[in-house]
A = this chain, B = another copy of it.
């Protein structure tokens, strides 16, 4: 292990340096530096990849004598990383990079001009290469397994399909009931919310939750994100709307949820490939938990609403807490995923999950995609996009070749409730703590059951060990039924 660990630390350091270059690109980099920066990031990522799959690393792994369970996990996870990285021929990787480069430009143009036909041939190429990619990676049942596994290791298409089918069959009627119920006004979260005050108010909340500013910081970027350069340096970014409370505040909570996950990884894993979130779904469970289960709850605002009134007096001075709570939770089916509320969000994801599979299986032709998209939107959400720009062309992901990625968002939502319920079962005081602006018991439970392990446990294993069950839709559906049934009276 003595020679293997420094080797793996180098690989990790290269990836983290690349992440810092990317963070800088989104926050402070002067505009004229884009080209050289792209080359630098590519250099660091390639070097890291080459070091990972090199003969020398393989030899060190073969010779390594694990001295602890962590060592065993390290060897297992890294061996799997290498196997995956070496299964795909570099000619295919280069071809995917080339195709997605072209495809991204075509998508931008197509979206701007609302012309799906401009993007269609590129999407066909992406799908074709994705199938080749899946064949190279290998799978048990369906090519989609291989693609999904890149983002959500260990989850199968069958497992996800089963859960999603159950979500959909219950959720579509719920959305219909909500659409038929009287609207909740969102007027209390609209109005004047000065940016500086939003910044301070959001930071106060994420610090109270446990986001450690000694090992993190917040900056402004066009699209909020969280990124880690080590367990001791996990940053978030935010962007606020001076006329709308939700995006800035819940964005900060969301990113801090991601960041607290990585800040909570066992320091024994620092500098190793194990020091990362175990899957995108598990990562999203953390962000969505703090954003929604904590941040959009009555107990949370029992403590924070008086503070919000103080910070935004001209807008909230005459509002009561209940109106504010209802406003932030108003459900409004929209064609745009990134603007979706807690209830409808998963349907946006499931739409993409189904269409990805149907396209890969050849059951839908790319040329028919817009109609399929719009029809399903209408039948699930009761709305039809006005055009393809706010329909099938809204997301960048497919143009980048990310097929199999979207489901992780919905998986995160489902897991967040499973984990939150388990935490509350073990610590019934979590809710009362929240009412007084305390989050210690919740955070401790998450550190103990989720965060500390980094990549040592899979998402499935974490769910099993901490909740006693596997991935399940019922807890999330119950949560939605209870919360929004009360709000909308169904």
Contact = CB atoms under 8 A, between A and B. Distances in A.
Nearest to A212: B32
A217 B21 CA distance: 15
Contact of A9 (B39, B213, B217): B39
B28 A217 contact: yes
B44 A230 contact: no
Interface string A10-48: 100110111011001000111111011101100110010
A26 B30 CA distance: 18
Contacts of A10: 43, 47
A73 interface: no
A14 B48 CA distance: 12
B24 A40 contact: no
A270 interface: yes
A214 interface: yes
Contact of A213 (B24, B30, B37, B231): B30
Nearest to A46: B10
A316 to B, nearest CB: 30
Contacts of A44: 13-14, 17
A217 B27 CA distance: 12
A315 interface: no
A30 B271 contact: no
A216 interface: yes
B233 A33 contact: yes
A179 interface: no
A215 interface: yes
Nearest to A34: B232
Query: In the complex this chain forms, how many copies of it are found?
Result: 2
A233 B13 contact: no
Interface string A213-232: 11111010000000001111
Contacts of A233: 29-30, 32-33, 36-37
Contacts of A229: 33, 36-37, 40
Given A31-B214, A33-B233, A217-B30, A271 B39 contact: yes
A174 to B, nearest CB: 42
Contacts of A9: 39, 43
Interface size class of A (residues with CB under 8 A): 35 or more
Contacts of A215: 30, 32-33
Interface in A373-406: none
A487 B490 CA distance: 88
Contacts of A216: 30
B271 A232 contact: no
Contact of A230 (B13, B16, B40, B213): B40
B30 A214 contact: yes
B21 A17 contact: yes
Contacts of A231: 36
A270 B36 contact: yes
Nearest to A13: B43
A35 B232 contact: yes
A43 B214 CA distance: 23
Nearest to A35: B232
Contacts of A217: 28, 30
Nearest to A17: B17
A35 to B, nearest CB: 7
Contacts of A29: 233
Contact of A17 (B40, B214, B230, B232): B40
Contacts of A20: 20-21, 24
Given A28-B217, A28-B219, A32-B232, 17 more contacts: A10-B43, A17-B21, A17-B43, A20-B21, A30-B214, A30-B216, A30-B235, A31-B214, A32-B233, A33-B230, A33-B232, A36-B229, A36-B232, A36-B271, A37-B229, A37-B230, A40-B229
7 contacts: A13-B40, A16-B40, A30-B232, A33-B233, A37-B229, A39-B271, A40-B230
